[in-house]
Amino acid sequence: MSSSGFVPSSGAVPPTGAVPTSVVSPSSASVPPIISVPPAGSAESPFARVVGRLRSAGCVFAEDEARLLLDAAHTPAELAAMVEQRAAGQPLEHILGWAEFHGLRIAVDVGVFVPRRRTELLVRLALDHLRVGAGAVVVDLCCGSGAVAAAVLAAGPAAGAPAAEVHAADVEPRAVRCARRNLAGVGGVGGQVYEGDLYAALPARLRGRVDVLIANAPYVPTGAIDLMPPEARDHEPRLALDGGPDGLAVLRRVVAGAPDWLAPGGCLLLETSRRQAALLLDALARAGLTGRLTASDELDASVLVAAAPSDRGGRREPA
């Protein structure tokens, strides 16, 4: 199951036709020689024609998207096909085959959940925790394309410290294949990706050894799926979006199993929405974990941070 990443009231997913925040700034794009792009003011330029087509389809950031598509296409025929795919509502990242995430270009196959920029808060918090220790074990559940795990690996260890041991898991076979490509050799060590449902996918040797447990599980309430932009609801796997009646069905399972897998003092990081945080804090308390909500207005993101007891004999406040 891939990460979810959208609650309609949060406005976290760009509107239909918008350039997703995970896409690299077009200022870095270079146009292939086979498609020359005259000045944007030229009505007959390929750029102007692409912009016009995208605008007619309702793309809000047509100019930015046009530059990215022009950069990706190798022939006029390929460009025309890509433009029509975008005009029909296919996610830009699926057309390009990648999304920018935490400074990395992450491969995103058709049918795989597109990593959102707000999920970078999970990476920031994970790296903050990893700086405290050395040679930590990190697990990314519901990993989707593997963007979070890849970003943790790419950051590398602190000077003189051993690299983190990074594992990721997802129930979607397409996501697993994509994540394996994204994690291969990253940071000089790469990471392991497993296929399966949450903890059932992990090797037993990790039980009780996980220092940082990350989960970007689906948290969209079932009844809100139809309110999502068509780019998400029509092109991303339902398992990556649907969190059950209140959006927390999968996250509650993550919380319930976490104490068995976390090392003493280990950290649990859960992406959620502010609206759902109180219910999830109750679930953490029932599992013997103390949590707090961390939010970023810059990323429009919310993450619950919880910690396992240091000695297994009581609760530990999250750092």
Q: What is the mean pLDDT of residues 113-125?
A: 96
Picking from 112, 193, 183, the residue whose alpha carbon sits closest to that of residue 153 is 183
Residue with tokens 């930015």: 64
Q: Are 129 and 212 spatial neighbours (Cβ–Cβ below 8 Å)?
A: yes
Picking from 116, 112, 227, 95, the residue whose alpha carbon sits closest to that of residue 181 is 112
Which two tokens mark 60? 């809000």
Size of the chain in residues: 319
Set out the domains of the chain in order of their start, with CATH numbers: 8-12+112-307 (3.40.50.150), 26-88 (no CATH)
Judging by beta carbons within 10 Å of its beta carbon (0-12, 13-18, 19+), is residue 250 exposed, middle or buried? buried
Which two tokens mark 84? 């029509």
Contacts of 286 (CB under 8 A, 6+ apart): none
Provide the H-helix boundaries in the chain: 46-56, 62-72, 76-87, 92-96, 120-130, 147-155, 173-183, 230-233, 249-261, 277-286
**pLDDT tens-digit series, residues 259-295:** 999 999 999 999 999 999 999 999 999 999 999 999 9
**CA separation, residue 211 to residues 142, 265, 313 (Å):** 17, 7, 17
Confidence of residue 140 (pLDDT cuts 50, 70, 90): very high
**pLDDT tens-digit series, residues 90-112:** 999 999 999 999 999 999 999 99
| pLDDT value of residue 134 | 61
**CA separation, residue 17 to residues 56, 64, 214, 314 (Å):** 10, 11, 30, 50
Confidence (pTM): 0.82
**pLDDT tens-digit series, residues 236-259:** 999 999 999 999 999 999 999 999
Q: Are 247 and 271 spatial neighbours (Cβ–Cβ below 8 Å)?
A: no
Which two tokens mark 192? 């392991």
Contacts of 210 (CB under 8 A, 6+ apart): 137, 138, 139, 261, 262, 263, 266
Provide φ and ψ at 88, rounded to 5°.
Answer: -80, -5
Confidence of residue 160 (pLDDT cuts 50, 70, 90): low
Identify the weakest region by mean pLDDT among 44-48, 122-126, 230-234, 314-318. Answer: 314-318
Helix, strand, or coil (residue 287): coil
Which two tokens mark 52? 């016009």
Question: Which residues are bridge partners to 306 per DSSP?
Answer: 268, 291
Q: Alpha-carbon distance 74 to 127, whole Å? A: 38
Mean pLDDT, the chain, as a whole number? 84
Percent of the chain with pLDDT over 70: 81
